[in-house]
Amino acid sequence: MLKGKTALVTGSTSGIGLGIAKALAKQGANIVLNGFGDIEGPKAQVRALGANVAYHGADMSKPSEIEEMMKFAAAQFGRVDVLVNNAGIQHVAPVEDFAPEKWDAIIAINLSSAFHASRLALPAMKAANWGRIINLASVHGLVASAQKAGYVAAKHGLVGLTKVIALETATTGVTCNAICPGWVLTPLVQQQVDAKAAANGWSNEEATRQLLGEKEPSMQFTTPEELGELAVFLCSPAANNVRGVAWNMDGGWAAQ
């Protein structure tokens, strides 16, 4: 379905981003990976699916590096047809103890990076009259949890940005939507399980059960593979008129 198209997924060396990159690669897209940590492993996983793959190590907190990444992607494959704004970090503390530099980093990486990558991707998408911008928000883009001021503010902002871009592209072949997962067992969430286990003297299993039980009625994690399939749907012709939605895949979290 995406043969000849190019997908750039930010924060795709791990977790959800890698899952989405692999799902888009299976549809035939060229893939531009981004993120920190092991690069060769994720590249090999995407290449094994038959996709052309490139990598750019832009730090999503730095607009100048985002600009370089977008130029790099266009130079590698012509243009970016699918932009998945996925890079994100978490920090947990009450507002009065929330380190200002953590706030700034979360807003920069989880929100402003999507603005910068989108503003740079849109001209070529509009010129081609086809494009998909998919923002990895969160159920925390729809509802709040205590101790997550930076994250909840950034994700609500990202849902707002999604709606604005959807309106500005509404008469074109470009769409913009947000995906709002509940808990997904990635390194970002395992850190929170570990913190719960350490604080309460629980096993990993007990801490996981407590974490799910607080918020997610299904008592199941959503998987990067399931989120990858949702991204594939949003890229499909069936989703041509899906615009500005914040689609939760959250085991019933936001239904409560």
Only segment of 34-42, 118-126, 142-150, 234-242 that touches ligand NAD (CB under 6 A): 34-42
Query: Residue 131 interacts with ligand NAD (CB under 6 A)?
Result: no
Residues 84-103 touching ligand NAD, rule: CB under 6 A, are 86-89
Residues 6+ apart with CB under 8 A from 189: 183, 211, 221
User: In Å, what is the CA distance from 216 to each residue of 37, 173, 202?
Assistant: 30, 35, 19
Q: Would you tell me how many other CB atoms lie within 10 Å of the CB of residue 23?
A: 25
Query: Residue 188 interacts with ligand NAD (CB under 6 A)?
Result: yes
User: In Å, what is the CA distance from 242 to each residue of 114, 158, 162, 171?
Assistant: 19, 17, 12, 12
- Confirm whether 55 is a catalytic residue: no
**Identity of the residue, 128 or 143, whose beta carbon is nearer to ligand NAD in the bound complex:** 143
**Identity of the residue, 144 or 188, whose beta carbon is nearer to ligand NAD in the bound complex:** 188
In the complex, the smallest distance separating the C-beta of residue 27 from ligand NAD, rounded to whole angstroms, is: 20
**Identity of the residue, 128 or 188, whose beta carbon is nearer to ligand NAD in the bound complex:** 188
Only segment of 24-32, 167-175, 180-188, 203-211 that touches ligand NAD (CB under 6 A): 180-188
72, 77, 151, 253: the catalytic one is: 151
Total number of residues that touch ligand NAD (CB under 6 A): 29
Do the beta carbons of residue 92 and residue 103 sit within 8 Å? no
| Residue where the block lists tokens 């039980």 | 213
Residues 131 and 134: their CA atoms lie apart, in Å, by: 10
Do the beta carbons of residue 31 and residue 242 sit within 8 Å? no
Question: Which residue in 121, 122, 133, 189 binds ligand NAD (CB under 6 A)?
Answer: 189
Footprint of ligand NAD on this chain (CB under 6 A)? 11-17, 34-37, 59-61, 86-89, 109-110, 136, 138, 181, 183-184, 186-189
